A and B are shown apart, each in its own frame.
Chain A
């Protein structure tokens, strides 16, 4: 069984569209994260949730809205997509509070905005 799964794996869309990426973890972890990795491989945290509560909200446009229906899921909704949103988005989870060193990452979602 996959520990942290994301769907879809690839997402190609037009500028201005709204899209969602889903993430699920079956590890029983309390904390989940969204990261953005750009073309230069820089990995930046976007959001973190602990038990469905927002813990970290880095400087991210408010077009990005995370939603955590339960502690096993953290979805990412993006409104009015822009070219600069093209990147690989990784979901991750960890056992304890946000910042727990050992994080388990999903396989990533490659978003391409045309």
Chain B
């Protein structure tokens, strides 16, 4: 299983762009990269998923370099409500296993 490494915590201010990087040096060919968001007392919620290059949706962007050994979740113009834990998940769909990272606690300040 591909192990993932994320910063433990990050601080930001409202209106700023936040980039959270996840390292996954042992990512396998079949692995997708997915990010989840978790608020206190709630289950994780899917944000975005990608395989390579760049993916963008209404919430975030995901940048994946050509070697796929890392990925960066980009949150544009964060607000206080974006304060949460963000998990990087690397999934081996063929083997049926996915590994959650340890999560990055993002704190957005006014």
Q: Which residues of A contact B (CB under 8 A)?
A: 4, 41-45, 48, 50, 55-56, 90, 92, 96-108
Contacts and interface: CB of A to CB of B under 8 A. Distances in A.
11 contacts: A56-B96, A90-B43, A92-B43, A97-B93, A99-B93, A99-B94, A102-B49, A103-B46, A107-B42, A107-B43, A108-B43
Contacts of B96: 48, 50, 55-56, 97-99
A99 B92 contact: yes
Contact of A106 (B43, B87, B93): B43
Contacts of A101: 32, 34, 46, 49, 89, 91, 93, 98
Nearest to B98: A99
Given A99-B95, A100-B93, A101-B91, A108 B100 contact: no
Given A101-B93, A101-B98, 7 more contacts: A42-B103, A45-B98, A99-B96, A99-B97, A100-B91, A101-B91, A107-B41
Interface of B: 32, 34, 38, 41-46, 49, 85, 87, 89, 91-98, 100, 102-103, 105
A104 B46 CA distance: 7
A99 B44 contact: no
Contact of B41 (A43, A99, A103, A108): A108
> Chain B at the A interface: mostly helix, strand, loop or mixed?
strand
Contacts of A48: 96
Given A99-B91, A101-B91, A42 B46 contact: no
Contacts of B87: 43
A26 to B, nearest CB: 15
A105 B42 CA distance: 9
A42 B89 contact: no
B43 A98 contact: no
Nearest to B41: A108
A108 B102 contact: no
A4 B34 CA distance: 20
Nearest to A104: B46
Contacts of A90: 43-44
Contact of A44 (B38, B43, B100): B100
